[in-house]
Structure formats: structure tokens, C-alpha cells
Amino acid sequence: MSSNALHVPVMLQRCLDMLAPALERPGAVVVDCTLGLGGHSEALLRTFPEARLVALDRDPAALELSGARLAPYGDRATLVHAVYDELPEVLARLGIPRVQGILFDLGVSSMQLDEAERGFAYAQDAPLDMRMDQTTGISAAEVLNTYPPGELVRILRTYGEEKFARKIVDAVVRERAKEPFHNSARLVELIRAALPQAAKRTGGNPAKRTFQALRIEVNGELTVLERAIPAAVAALAVGGRIAVLSYHSLEDRLVKHVLGAGAETTAPPGLPVVPERYQPRLKLLTRGAELPTEEEIAENRRAAPARLRGAERIREEVAP
């Protein structure tokens, strides 16, 4: 499969090294919450021959491609059609109470970006879809054509960090009254026309932030992530480790908050001795977020915005 051959998993060796102490134990279970084309999953199975893999993806096409790729590993790999905030239900169905490793590689998979008809990429004309699972939910075109102007402004500002959200939305509202949006090229052209000249000279393609915002809205990415990271931490056995790759500041901030909160004491200030139930549950494995090396970015340009954070579960929840 050509996509598999071309796909380079981001910060692969660093992720494997981070998870290794937890996965070198007999009977370890590792969850790849974002299977995609299976690059990270295949490396996990190859590197930790005693480990069992559970891999989740909401995209049926990704599951089909990765299923063929991971077939040589037989029943060591269990692939599940699910969104990653469904992790607790998936593990309960499989009868797995706790896991030793969890990996998230957030954002859009290479396959989705590379297949024009999925509508994720602003560099080529395609239907404005952007659903990671095309069997459910509303498309980016429906968002553009039906959302009230104020809601569109909020989405572009919050999810795309787009300073010119109001200008872009005003143009969208004018244009959709003439004819609904269907394809990406028309939206890209509209954004170029709406932005001030100075804004188009820096920061790459001017449509990038709007497309990111629409993708996050269509797939409910931040809402899902808000549920998924705490659920993943709760699923870790003591000594288990989590590694999370994020690609924009909103994701990274959320991951930082959840892992950071788990690594702090929850005791009221002023206690002479901190009781067990207030002790940190996590130990952070990164100082801040780790960045890809220059060599990796040269080899794989999609690694450039990546931020890696990790933590180890150091104690169970203790009931008050």
C-alpha cells in the first residue's frame, strides 16, 4: 500500500522509548487510541513482542488498511471502530481492567490529508467533508451553510485562532446566500479575498486556520479529547505510561492541564502531613512539551508542529 510506505510516524522512537519501561513486562496491554495507517501500532507490536495491542479509530477506511498491515501479528492486535473517548467502554467489552501503555497521535492522519476526496486539505479542490468517520455526523459544508454567523465566528476564533474570523464569516454569509458551499477551492478563494494583504504574506496558506477550525468542529475533536485524556489516565495500571502527540496549542494546553493536575497534590494548603488520598497520581515524563528534532522535521514536514507529553501512573485512586 503506497500510503503505508510513504507514511512516517511522528516522533516514533521517542514514543517507543517513553512507553518501554511499562511495555517490557509480560502480559502488557498497550492502546493506540489513534490507529490511522498503523505506523505507531506496527512499531509497538514489533518492539514489544510480549505486548498485546488494542487500537482504536473512527475511520473505517483506516481500520481496513491497518488491518491488512497488522495481520501478520494475528490475535496480538485487536482493532476497534471507536472514537477515542469510548476507551472505557472498549476496554470493558474486551474484559481488560487496566492497561500498561496508551498512545495518542492527535490530528489528521496522512491518509485523510492525502486523499483529496476527504476534503481535509486546502491545497486541492475537493468536496468540503472533513469527517473522520464518513458514516456519521455533519460535513464541513453543512457547518458553513447552516451555522448562524456568530457561531461560525466563535469556531474560527476558538478552534482556528483566526484573527480575521469576522471578515471571513461576513464573506461566507454573503456567498452562501447566493449559492451553498460544496467544494474547498471556493472557500480558499473567499478567504484569500477577505484577508488584508499583510495577513497573506506570513504564516503559510491563509486558509489553514479556517480549515483547522472546521475540522475540529465537524469531528468534535476538543470535546472528545476533554473526555478522552482523563479516561485514559484512569485506565492506566500503576506503572503504566501515557504518551500524547498534539499538533496545535488548544490540544497541547488541554493535555498539559490534565497530566499536570494528576502530577500535583490535591491536599488543602497547610497540612503538616499529606494523606495518601491527596498524593499525586502521575509523574510527568517530559519537562514541558518535547519537540521533534530538526532531522525529523527535514524527513517528515508534518512533524513540525508536534508536541509530545507523557506521564507515568504512580498510584491508584484512594477513596476519601
Residue 278 pLDDT: 85
Three-state SS string across 158-188, please? HHHCCCCHHHHHHHHHHHHHHCCCCEHHHHH
Instruction: Please check whether residues 213 and 238 belong to one and the same domain.
Output: no
Structural domain ending residue among the three candidates 219, 240, 271: 219
Q: Angle at which helices 165-178 and 149-160 pack, to 10 degrees?
A: 140
Q: Are 289 and 252 in contact (CB under 8 A)?
A: yes
Supply the range of the domain harboring residue 181. Answer: 118-219
Structural domain ending residue among the three candidates 192, 219, 246: 219
Q: Are 42 and 79 in contact (CB under 8 A)?
A: no
What's the grid cell of residue 182?
460544496
Instruction: Please check whether residues 157 and 302 belong to one and the same domain.
Output: no
Instruction: Please check whether residues 31 and 154 belong to one and the same domain.
Output: no
Instruction: Please check whether residues 105 and 226 belong to one and the same domain.
Output: yes
Residue 201 pLDDT: 64
252 is in an annotated binding site: no
How many folded domains does the chain comprise?
Answer: 2
| pLDDT class of 109 with cuts at 50, 70, 90 | low
Query: If you average pLDDT over residues 271-289, what whole number do you get?
Result: 90
Structural domain ending residue among the three candidates 186, 219, 252: 219
Residue 197 pLDDT: 79
Q: State the Cα angle at 288 between 31 and 13, rounded to 5°.
A: 45
**DSSP string for 72-130:** GGGGGEEEEE--GGGHHHHHHHHT---EEEEEEE-S--HHHHH-GGG---TTS--BS--
Residue 107 within a domain: yes
Residue 300 pLDDT: 85
38 is in an annotated binding site: yes
Torsions phi, psi for 312 (to 5 deg) = -120, 135
Q: How far apart are CA 82 and CA 255, in angstroms?
A: 20
Q: How far apart are CA 82 and CA 67, in angstroms?
A: 15
39 is in an annotated binding site: yes
Instruction: Please check whether residues 107 and 226 belong to one and the same domain.
Output: yes
Torsions phi, psi for 289 (to 5 deg) = -100, 135
Instruction: Please check whether residues 164 and 34 belong to one and the same domain.
Output: no
73 is in an annotated binding site: no
Report the CATH number at residue 209.
1.10.150.170
129 is in an annotated binding site: no
Residue 138 within a domain: yes
Instruction: Please check whether residues 70 and 95 belong to one and the same domain.
Output: yes
Report the CATH number at residue 15.
3.40.50.150
Q: How far apart are CA 199 and CA 169, in angstroms?
A: 16
The percent of residues above 90 in pLDDT, for the chain, comes to: 70
Residue 318 within a domain: no
Q: Is the dihedral of CA 264, 266, 272, 274 positive or negative?
A: negative
Q: What is the pLDDT of residues 1-57, one digit of tens each?
A: 334 444 678 999 999 999 999 999 899 999 999 999 999 999 999 999 999 999 999
109 CB-side CA count, 13 A:
29
Instruction: Please check whether residues 215 and 226 belong to one and the same domain.
Output: no
What is the residue-averaged pLDDT of the chain? Answer: 89
Q: What is the pLDDT of residues 129-141, one digit of tens each?
A: 888 888 888 999 9
Instruction: Please check whether residues 8 and 154 belong to one and the same domain.
Output: no
* Residue type at position 207: A
Q: What is the pLDDT of residues 213-267, one digit of tens each?
A: 999 999 999 999 999 999 999 999 999 999 999 998 999 999 999 999 999 988 8
Residue 124 pLDDT: 72
Q: How far apart are CA 232 and CA 243, in angstroms?
A: 10
Residue 201 within a domain: yes
Residue 319 within a domain: no
Q: How far apart are CA 7 and CA 1, in angstroms?
A: 10
Instruction: Please check whether residues 201 and 238 belong to one and the same domain.
Output: no
Residue 186 within a domain: yes
